[in-house]
């Protein structure tokens, strides 16, 4: 459990927060000023959180962050505010750099859920080194929490340098397999002729140079997690065998005649657009869908630029300790250059730059002129690759004017990529529709009624969500009629889900696909509380 400081700006809210946090097992301390938090912090690494209950302004937000000065990641800072609307709560949290805003007077269950979620996210950042406070990186952390406990295959996508291996290690670290091996392999770094042997192992004499039996990555990762990075580089002839291993978790070594059974969770990662590879025929469609059971998309650094100062501080600390170098930091104008740069190499490029600055400029402040010229000028900014279209004209003429083919390349690129994405979306929609019809053959001859004056549609609430059924169980069915509002439908869905799980709100929230806090608000809104 954590040590929770509660600021007594509003005594009634502070007392409610204290009772809720203490009931959840936390060690709670009441403070009148935020300076007390700094003086009471211990030098150990215990988990800490701060809850504000008084009026918020920029000074309070700055002092709250200052209470944990130097801590990366920063311990959670929450606030109880007199606001009920979820969108307004999110706006307040962003405005005052809070981890979360909860409505005041605070509900005990909501306080406990908020503290639990924020402390889980903080713990994950401490253990994995995934640093950031923007919404983009918080969504990644939340999704890792959801993905980690299950055994399903995961596909991690994102540009090179966004931290795909770090995310895979985080999933392994939070999974029941954490005590077993985590094996990472880059498919693009292994020669095509050796890739099969690296994955599945080989027997002695299987090929020239195989002087002894060797275990492959699947065997080495038995019981644990296998990360296959750059999965899009896997040769087509190997994809068929790999698909079978994913389905059965059984394989034979190269040159072997005995099947080996393994228990491995596979995480695949790529910086390619696999849907495009499927369309071009270089990646099997069935393998793509088998890998993409759970999907995690990592944002590019240019999509979370507010995290750059925090990442710089984090890397400066790491590199300074590793090289035993003192570093005074960056001048404001130098930091502004880093914020304006597009970072085509993402976090990896930023870390390499920080390391060079720490090593080459010990004991001095980095000025704008110390930043490499390609970053100062923004020349590292990258465009999407231009497709190889059969275009005639002065494509390579330098200084082509407006209206020439060369001047229209960006527009052509945009149109090309838009058409490709539309085609892939339509193919996916058609596939999903055919799969749905295959699961419900009765719908082929009996189209679903809809519209005023027709028979109501009956929806069953189950583990898979909401499903149209021809002969439903009346206990777990919503009858949709033309006069029902969306609130009516939502209220019935929540009521049925709660009944189906025996009143367990956590399970009901999971079944409905919403957060616990959202469920609590809906229960109050629809007067469904016990």
Q: Which CATH number goes with the domain that contains 361?
A: 1.10.8.60
User: Quick one: 109 and 200 in the same domain?
Assistant: no
CA distance 430 to 435: 9
Provide the 8-state DSSP code for 366: B
Stretch 86-98: mean pLDDT: 89
User: Quick one: 170 and 185 in the same domain?
Assistant: yes
User: Quick one: 146 and 283 in the same domain?
Assistant: yes
**Sequence-distant (≥ 6) Cβ neighbours of residue 172 within 8 angstroms:** 148, 178, 182, 224, 225, 265, 267
Reference 205, options 161, 255, 248, 146; nearest CA is 255
User: Quick one: 291 and 308 in the same domain?
Assistant: no
Q: What is the pLDDT of residues 355-373, one digit of tens each?
A: 988 888 767 788 888 888 8
| pLDDT score, position 144 | 93
381 is a domain residue? no
User: Quick one: 281 and 327 in the same domain?
Assistant: no
**Which comes out higher in pLDDT, residue 119 or 513?**
119
Q: Is the pLDDT of residue 390 over 50?
A: no
* pTM strictly above 0.75: no
- Of 376, 403, 422, the one marking the end of a domain is 376
Stretch 463-479: mean pLDDT: 52
408 is a domain residue? no
Reference 256, options 300, 298, 174, 196; nearest CA is 196
412 is a domain residue? no
| pLDDT score, position 384 | 40
- Of 244, 270, 297, the one marking the end of a domain is 297
Report residue 449's pLDDT band, with 50, 70 and 90 as the boundaries. Answer: very low
447 is a domain residue? no
| pLDDT score, position 385 | 40
CA 169 to chain centre: 13
User: Quick one: 272 and 147 in the same domain?
Assistant: yes
Q: What is the pLDDT of residues 218-264, one digit of tens each?
A: 999 999 999 999 999 999 889 999 999 999 999 999 988 889 999 99
| pLDDT score, position 68 | 86
* DSSP helix/strand/coil, 275: helix
Scored b (16 or more CB within 10 A) or e, 132-171 reads bebebbbebbebbbebbeeeeebbbbbbebbbbeebbbbb
353 is a domain residue? yes
Q: Is the pLDDT of residue 328 over 60?
A: yes
Q: Is the pLDDT of residue 291 over 60?
A: yes
Q: Token pair for residue 224?
A: 């644990």
User: Quick one: 214 and 115 in the same domain?
Assistant: no
Instruction: Judge contact between 55 and 9, C-beta under 8 A.
Output: yes
User: Quick one: 350 and 238 in the same domain?
Assistant: no
Average per-residue pLDDT for the chain: 81
Stretch 442-469: mean pLDDT: 48
Q: Is the pLDDT of residue 391 over 50?
A: no
Q: Token pair for residue 521?
A: 């608000």
| pLDDT score, position 230 | 94
Spatial strand order of the sheet with 48-52 comes to 27-31, 3-7, 48-52, 77-81, 100-103
Stretch 61-77: mean pLDDT: 86
Q: What percent of the chain lies above the pLDDT cut of 70?
A: 79
| pLDDT score, position 361 | 75
Q: Is the pLDDT of residue 296 over 90?
A: yes
503 is a domain residue? yes
Q: What is the pLDDT of residues 15-38, one digit of tens each?
A: 999 999 999 999 999 999 888 888
User: Quick one: 475 and 363 in the same domain?
Assistant: no
| pLDDT score, position 524 | 80
Q: Token pair for residue 193?
A: 């002729």
CATH code (residue 148): 3.40.50.300
382 is a domain residue? no
User: Quick one: 158 and 271 in the same domain?
Assistant: yes
103 is a domain residue? yes
Q: What is the pLDDT of residues 481-527, one digit of tens each?
A: 666 777 788 888 888 888 888 888 888 887 887 877 778 778 888 88
User: Using CA of residue 201, residue 207, residue 208, residue 213, what is the dihedral sign?
Assistant: positive
Instruction: Judge contact between 31 and 7, C-beta under 8 A.
Output: yes
User: Quick one: 293 and 144 in the same domain?
Assistant: yes
| pLDDT score, position 262 | 94
Which domain range does residue 501 map to?
457-525
Q: What is the pLDDT of residues 403-434, one digit of tens each?
A: 444 444 445 555 555 555 555 555 555 555 66
Q: How many domains does the chain have?
A: 4
| pLDDT score, position 360 | 81
DSSP per-residue letters across 192-222: HHHHHHHHH-B-TTSSTT--S-B--HHHHTT
CATH code (residue 81): 3.40.50.2300
Q: Is the pLDDT of residue 12 over 50?
A: yes
- Of 297, 315, 339, the one marking the end of a domain is 297
Q: Is the pLDDT of residue 457 over 70?
A: no
Q: Is the pLDDT of residue 310 over 60?
A: yes
Q: Is the pLDDT of residue 402 over 80?
A: no
Among 312-326, 416-430, 444-458, the range scoring the smallest mean pLDDT is: 444-458
CATH code (residue 503): 1.10.10.60
User: Quick one: 212 and 290 in the same domain?
Assistant: yes
Q: Is the pLDDT of residue 298 over 50?
A: yes
């Amino acid at each position: 459990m954590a040590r929770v400081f509660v600021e007594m700006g509003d005594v009634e809210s502070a007392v409610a927060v204290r009772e809720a946090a203490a009931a959840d097992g936390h060690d709670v301390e009441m403070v009148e000023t935020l300076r007390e938090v700094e003086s009471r912090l211990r030098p150990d690494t215990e988990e800490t959180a701060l809850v504000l209950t008084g009026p918020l302004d920029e000074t309070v937000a700055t002092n709250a962050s200052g209470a944990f000065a130097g801590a990366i990641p920063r311990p959670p800072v929450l606030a109880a505010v007199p606001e009920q609307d979820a969108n307004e709560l999110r706006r307040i949290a962003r405005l005052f750099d809070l981890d979360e805003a909860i409505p005041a007077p605070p509900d005990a269950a909501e306080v406990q859920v908020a503290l639990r979620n924020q402390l889980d996210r903080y713990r994950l950042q401490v253990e994995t080194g995934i640093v950031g406070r923007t919404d983009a990186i918080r969504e990644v952390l939340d999704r890792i929490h959801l993905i980690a406990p299950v055994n399903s295959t995961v596909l991690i996508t994102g540009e090179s340098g966004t931290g795909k291996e770090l995310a895979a290690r985080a999933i392994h670290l939070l999974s029941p397999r954490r005590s077993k091996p985590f094996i990472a392999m880059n498919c693009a770094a292994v020669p095509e002729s050796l890739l099969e042997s690296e994955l599945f192992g080989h027997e002695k004499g299987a090929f020239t140079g195989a002087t002894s039996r060797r275990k492959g990555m699947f065997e080495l990762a038995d019981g644990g997690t296998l990360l296959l990075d750059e999965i899009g580089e896997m040769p087509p002839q190997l994809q068929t065998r790999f698909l079978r291993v994913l389905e059965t978790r059984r394989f034979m070594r190269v040159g072997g005649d005995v099947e080996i059974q393994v228990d491995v969770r596979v995480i695949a990662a790529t910086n390619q657009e696999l849907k495009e590879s499927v369309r071009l025929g270089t990646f099997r469609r069935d393998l793509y869908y088998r890998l993409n059971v759970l999907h995690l998309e990592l944002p590019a650094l240019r999509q979370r630029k507010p995290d750059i100062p925090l990442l710089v501080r984090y890397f400066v600390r790491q590199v300074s300790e590793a090289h035993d170098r003192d570093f005074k930091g960056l001048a404001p104008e130098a930091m502004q250059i880093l914020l304006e740069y597009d970072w085509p190499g993402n976090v990896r490029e930023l870390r390499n730059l920080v390391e060079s600055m720490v090593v080459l400029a010990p004991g001095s402040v980095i000025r704008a002129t110390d930043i490499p010229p390609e970053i100062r000028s923004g020349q590292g900014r990258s465009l999407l690759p231009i497709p190889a279209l059969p275009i005639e004209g002065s494509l390579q003429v330098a200084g082509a004017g407006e209206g020439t083919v060369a001047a229209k390349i960006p527009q052509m690129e945009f149109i090309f990529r838009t058409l490709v994405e539309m085609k892939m979306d339509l193919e996916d929609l058609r596939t999903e529709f055919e799969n749905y019809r295959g699961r419900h053959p009765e719908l082929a001859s009996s189209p679903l009624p809809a519209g005023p004056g027709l028979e109501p549609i009956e929806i069953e609430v189950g583990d898979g969500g909401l499903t149209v059924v021809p002969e439903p169980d009346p206990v777990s069915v919503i009858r949709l009629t033309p006069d029902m509002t969306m609130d009516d439908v939502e209220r019935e869905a929540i009521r049925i889900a709660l009944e189906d799980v025996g009143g367990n709100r956590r399970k009901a929230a999971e079944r409905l696909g919403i957060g616990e806090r959202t469920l609590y608000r809906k229960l109050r809104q629809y007067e469904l509380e016990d």
